[in-house]
Amino acid sequence: MILYAAGLIYALVFWMVGWKRPAIPLMLIFALAPFQNDIGQFTTPQNPDDPLAAGGGGGGGGNLPHFSIAEINLMLTAVLFFMRKRPLLFGPLLIPTLLYFGVCTASSLLSWRATTMMSMIQMVLYLIVAVAVFTSFGRDERDYQLAFYGLIFVGVVLAVAVLITRSGYVMGLHKNGVGSSLSCAVIVCTELWFAAATRRRRRVLSWVLAILVAGLFFTLSRGGWVSAALGIALILAMRRQFQLLVKVAFAFVPLIAVCWYLLPQQSRDYTTGLSSDNWNIRMRYNSIEIAKENFEASPYLGVGVGLRKEYDATNLFWLTLAETGVLGMLAFFGLQAAFLRMVWKTQERLSRVEPLFSPVAIGGALVLGGLVHGMVDHYWSRGAISIAWAGAGMSTYGYLVVRHRAALARAALAEQTFVERPETA
């Protein structure tokens, strides 16, 4: 009873604050996403040997809801969105998303599982609610800044905890969950470093980025390393800052070297061990084999959404094939391709010094990084996926602003042409 009363008070305070300051709910979703624990389970350490501990398998908690604090905040913000009667904005992701959910629904109706409902609810939260809220709820791109710095702050806290303990298992979180969240913080901090307007701010962000990179390194999350690297590569491609990349890389070589020297020999062996003799690599091969067997059982529509919670699903490509077949795979990766195409087209029409550029670039880098991370680790496991699709909403907002500007420019040109035409006649 006390828990429900506390929850009601939290919701009321959340709505009152969010009504006046939309940036606060967005920050609470974005910045608290790294805490992947089920609500009420923050004080229960996860088993380091449990492959589903990062959120992929759901969680206990008795009669408590199986949602993280960020997911609760997201649902509260969705309610506040309708209370404030904000216009619901849609971008080019709407149709690909609906197509993917159509395939998921058809597949699940044919093969309903005990875990289907929770999986579908979480997918709706990530792919629809998070995108819609971060596209439509804010007043303009300035409302995203607090979310960026909030995530960086939480990332620094996690990174310091990792560096002190020299372990990725901190605050009851799994190392791969911490690694994926820190990779998101590294991506966000990198873009803000590029966008820094003063030397002082860039200097501060340089030190923050060093802490985040060191913390990410010590999680030993190779998926986190790769996702951060490719996310940063996309930002550099959009900013066309390849020479600066070389300079930054040389600057970070000593940091990485020191971190490597401080690693215990067992951790070094774990990091460099990529053969199937290592248990973690062998588990990933087993994951692929399980997904292949299910895919072969139903190659067109798969065996239904929810399979991800019944085994250690560490390969997004094969998981998607297993759950929704070839049709689902084409729909899901078509959605990803449509999003990245939208980001690329949008950033081409923005100045690199414009404040709107950063949300567009960060959203694209987060989604790409999460996609790559999902090929070697859990994708549907809260944390990074909440951050990534919230970022997708930011990018969609940028796209809509650019499209609106183009429409105004065309209207102004047409009006000018209409006025001038009688004079030229």
At how many degrees (to 10) do helices 69-83 and 23-32 cross?
160
**CA–CA dist 311, 288 (Å, integer):** 10
**CA–CA dist 314, 285 (Å, integer):** 9
Written as one letter, the residue type at 371 is: L
Any idea what the Cα angle at residue 135 is, between residues 129 and 137, rounded to 5°?
A: 85
- Of 75, 43, 40, 74, which is closest to residue 60 (Cα–Cα)? 40
Report whether 302 contacts 325 (CB < 8 A): yes
Handedness of CA 366, 73, 380, 82 (dihedral sign): negative
**CA–CA dist 73, 69 (Å, integer):** 6
CA distances from residue 143 to 27, 93, 260, 423 in whole angstroms, order as listed? 9, 22, 38, 46
Q: Which of 11-20, 276-285, 335-344, 370-379 has the lowest mean pLDDT?
A: 276-285
Domain ranges of the chain: 2-424
- Of 313, 305, 288, 300, which is closest to residue 374 (Cα–Cα)? 313
Q: Which two tokens stand for residue 294?
A: 């299910």
What is the tens place of the pLDDT at every residue in 233-264?
999 999 987 777 676 667 666 766 665 555 66
Per-residue model confidence (pLDDT) at position 168:
84
Per-residue model confidence (pLDDT) at position 419:
66
What is the tens place of the pLDDT at every residue in 292-328?
999 999 999 999 999 999 998 889 999 999 999 999 9
**CA–CA dist 270, 265 (Å, integer):** 9
**CA–CA dist 382, 371 (Å, integer):** 13
**CA–CA dist 369, 384 (Å, integer):** 9
Burial of 89 (0-12, 13-18, 19+ CB in 10 A): middle
Q: Say what the pTM is.
A: 0.88
The model's confidence at residue 409, banded by pLDDT at 50, 70 and 90, is confident
CA atoms lying within 13 Å on the CB side of residue 266: 2
Cα 278 versus chain centre, distance = 29
Burial of 235 (0-12, 13-18, 19+ CB in 10 A): buried
- Of 295, 316, 323, 332, which is closest to residue 101 (Cα–Cα)? 332
